[in-house]
Structure 1
Amino acid sequence: MIAPAPQRPLRIVLAPDSLKGSLPAAEAALAMSGGVRAAAARLGHPAPRVVLAPLADGGEGTLDALLTAWSVEPRTTACHDAAGRARSARYGISSSGTSGIPRTMGVLEAAEANGLPLVADLPLDALTATSYGVGEIAARLLDDGAEEILLCIGGSATTDGGAGLLSALGARFLDRDGDPLPPGGGALAALASIDTTDLHPRARSVRWRIAVDVDNPLCGPRGAAAVFGPQKGATPDDVVVLDAGLAHLARIVEEATGVAVLEVPGAGAAGGLPAVLVPFLGAEIVPGSALVADAVGLSAALADADLVLTGEGSLDAQSLGGKVVQAVVGNAPAGCAVVAIAGRVQLTAAEVQDAGLAAAFSIATGPMALDELIQGAGALMEEAAAQVYGVFGANRPG
């Protein structure tokens, strides 16, 4: 027997990550919304107060998640890819006060300039690939008046320690003869000095935050070259050259700034981009999901929620290590049920509950091939959200 309808509409926050390869976070949130609204109507309940809060972990989809949260359109700017070819890239900037945020924030995804897919038509050259284009986008954000820059750095094709990026902001990486180094991490062994005299006038006056989902150091067996270089086309010999170049860069940077970047966790992310941003610009390295949660005001959005739905493509042990699901649980108020909906769930009930979730459900309606899940992800997500409402909404008192 169905319990009496609640006396007031439930407030439901929908805060999923994307389902990689099938459903962007914003579309996942819309599908969830359709499911809970339809379930409430069938049960004769007042229409729930639904808040859409699509999230990301700092990698693919972060730009779109923040633009949705800020209700702003993407902007475009000219830049160059990792091979030095001209292209355009998207970026975003909020208005001061957007979603309760006191400052004007800019966001860029480094992969819009130095992403691997952009150079997939060329033979990969790990020694010369440059992050210069990322710096061009950052310079545009500074010109547009951003007071804080959120830099999302996954999916890069570069291993240049951020030298290209900082060069685009006005720094000069010079050899012993005072000549500029050629682009790419392969040239870093010849670095003698870094001249920041002509650095962009606003570069040091803004807050920089770098979204990462790894803690790899700059150099060594777990460093940028050894772990990520091969996927960017680096041969074993190239890895040796790149690792030595990054180590040399670190020594020059420490001499100039006093910052020992070899000891900074996460400095090896995206080919070592943080290696120059942390010491020269005071950039903060933060978990991507935490950065996005803060940027969209997730804590405030969840403050009076009755139910929160989150989710991602695969809910597994990695989901509990700084990803979106963990950020949602960490920001949810006490007593509020947080339920995960995922393409697949690879955690036991005990693991789900120990992680702070009330429950976790797969969108699969039975034995289904991966292609079926991907193609039907929207409808399946909607149906799963309706089922969750039936469990958590139908019997909730007003």
Structure 2
Amino acid sequence: MTRVVIAPDSFKGTATAADAAAALAAGWRSVRAGDDLVERPMADGGEGTLDAFASSVPGAQRMPITVRGPVTDPVESSWVLLPDGTGVVELAATSGITLLDPLEPLDAHSAGFGEAIAAALEGGAERLLLGLGGSASSDGGTAALTVLGAWFLDASGAPVPLGNRGLAMLDRVDLTGLRPLPPGGAVILGDVTNPLLGPLGAAAIFGPQKGADAATVDVLEANLARLADLMPEQLQPYAAAPGAGAAGGTGFGLLAWGASMGGGAALVAQAVGLREAIDGADLVITGEGRFDGQSEAGKAPTVVAALARDAGAPTALVAGAITAEPRGFAASVALADLAGGGVAAMAEPLRWLEAAGAELARTRG
């Protein structure tokens, strides 16, 4: 009997990691019903992080909350409490780009993320894992920090409006009222290493994904630079830290709060016991919505493949589209190829994920 571990990330905007794993498993079973399949949905800190913890950690509790969405309209969301007292909070589930239509790059904010963090602290979380990725905003995390007790003030001493646009009015930053980190601290789960500012920063790289044209990118950059210049002097160097540009600069805000930066996919894999699950596996299947040049920079499929390689197991890759050479994978399947195009694959992602599972069972089983 073949033992197969199925550990995909979410196929962003089309299928959660848990649904993707279940579809791949169903496809495999349609060909090889007697095999031992272990599902371990993965995440890298972005969309699907809560689902990965909730489905893979025994005793995890999903805690429902209502927060302000990325432009203040209420959003039904949740955070996850792990048995060891760790609270997991996901920005994509509270202030994410998929929660906003149309996109509003200057006015979207991270307040809902801050409200979820506050709920976790008030719910007794002794340590925080903070998933960054998929944000709608470029506010440097200021709205989240405002919820946690910071003040971002204009020249008259009034709070500036939430969102990047308000940072143009910023005159003074007061972090003395920030609530403390929990006893076990806070770790940022993220999959990017971009700094806050510059050609590789939050505005330049991620602004266009949030609806910003070239002129708006310049405004986003200038306002984030103003924020960095007005932060307490000892915190200003965090603007250049790897990951400070994550989630519209929310990485910078969290570093200023005192959180530490961690590798998203690697920490999620550790938390869900992926290494132990892979031990003794004959094959590991992983995947994501798009496998491209950024995928090798610590994203979930690359982390999963590295763990499988250490365990001596081959890895198969499934992705909606594959636009970079899938080095290190024993097999690869693109849903776009199975479906006859990317649009068809995105229209019925679970159908084509199931087809990919069946294809792998026939060729690798």
Q: Which amino acid aligns with 1:58?
A: G
Number of the residue aligned with 1:330: 306
Cα distance in structure 2, aligned partners of 1:210 and 1:184: 21
Q: Does 1:311 align with 2:287?
A: yes
8 Å CA contact 1:130, 1:159 repeated in 2: yes
Task: Give 1:202-213 correspondences, 5 Å limit.
Answer: 203=181, 205-213=183-191
| Cα distance, 1:28–1:367 mapped onto 2, change above 3 Å | closer
Number of the residue aligned with 1:297: 273
Cα distance in structure 2, aligned partners of 1:129 and 1:343: 28
5+ long unaligned stretches in structure 2: none
Number of the residue aligned with 1:396: none
Cα distance in structure 2, aligned partners of 1:195 and 1:235: 32
Q: Does 1:183 align with 2:162?
A: yes
Q: Secondary structure at the match of 1:88?
A: strand
Cα distance in structure 1, aligned partners of 2:86 and 2:187: 11
| Cα distance, 1:264–1:34 mapped onto 2, change above 3 Å | same
Q: Does 1:65 align with 2:52?
A: yes
Number of the residue aligned with 1:264: 241
Deviating more after overlay: 287-296 vs 186-195? 186-195
| Cα distance, 1:302–1:188 mapped onto 2, change above 3 Å | same
Number of the residue aligned with 2:129: 150
Task: Give 1:1-398 correspondences, 5 Å limit.
Answer: 9-41=1-33, 47-70=34-57, 72=60, 74-96=62-84, 104-120=85-101, 124=104, 126=106, 128-175=107-154, 178-201=157-180, 203=181, 205-232=183-210, 234=212, 238-255=216-233, 257-258=234-235, 260-284=237-261, 286-332=262-308, 333-346=310-323, 351-352=325-326, 355-363=327-335, 368-393=340-365
Percent identity (aligned): 40
After superposition, give the CA deviation of every residue in 1:153-209 in whole Å (9 maximum; x if it has no partner): 3232322211111110112223455443332333335545433343224x2534322
> How far does residue 89 in structure 1 lie from its aligned partner after superposition?
2.2
* TM-score, length of structure 2 as denominator length: 0.85
Cα distance in structure 2, aligned partners of 1:183 and 1:229: 17
Q: Which amino acid aligns with 2:198?
A: G
Cα distance in structure 2, aligned partners of 1:187 and 1:344: 38
Cα distance in structure 1, aligned partners of 2:23 and 2:89: 26
8 Å CA contact 1:254, 1:260 repeated in 2: no
Cα distance in structure 2, aligned partners of 1:191 and 1:364: 46
RMSD over equivalenced CA pairs, Å: 3.0
| Cα distance, 1:61–1:262 mapped onto 2, change above 3 Å | same
Higher Cα Rg: structure 1 or 2?
Answer: 1
Q: Which amino acid aligns with 2:43?
A: A
Q: Which amino acid aligns with 2:191?
A: D
